[in-house]
Amino acid sequence: MTWMSTRHGAVWQPPMDVYETEEDVVIRIEIAGVNPDEVDIALVDRVLTVSGIRHDPAPKVGYHRMEILYGPFQASTALPRRVDPARISAQYRDGFLTVTVPKPSPIRVHVDVASADTANESRAGE
């Protein structure tokens, strides 16, 4: 009987979806079996990085088939637009981490309308 050795030390990249709604940029990452306390989320400039570790729950002598990756992981994405970093939230449910990054609200600038008399007075003083 031949045993395959396990993979150690490599950082794996979980599958990720990035999409927009009217209000948010949403990043959804498949990380089943990861303890949410061992996940770090960082936003530097416009690059969002999610990293952490998935521990192998049981010791093994060898594998017949190995498709589930364990150990450290990291997934990064450049966000498609400016976002509001102070309002980022994250939720872990059913093996998926969903990071919601609100888009900034548009800045409304009030425009004062000068009356014709005010404009004429302004030109007269020149």
Classify residue 9: in a domain, yes or no. Answer: no
Arithmetic mean of pLDDT, 76-103? 91
Contact 55, 70 (CB under 8 A): yes
Residue 6 has a pLDDT of 47
List pLDDT tens digits, range 61-72. 888 888 899 999
Tell me the CA end-to-end span of the chain in Å, nearest whole number: 98
Domain of residue 88, residue span = 16-124
**Total domains in the fold of the chain:** 1
Q: What is the pLDDT of residue 37?
A: 95
For the segment 6-25, the average pLDDT, to the nearest whole number, is 85
Q: Does some domain include residue 55?
A: yes
Mean pLDDT over 3-30 rounds to 83
* CATH number, position 96: 2.60.40.790
pLDDT tens across 25-54, in order? 999 999 999 999 999 999 998 899 999 999
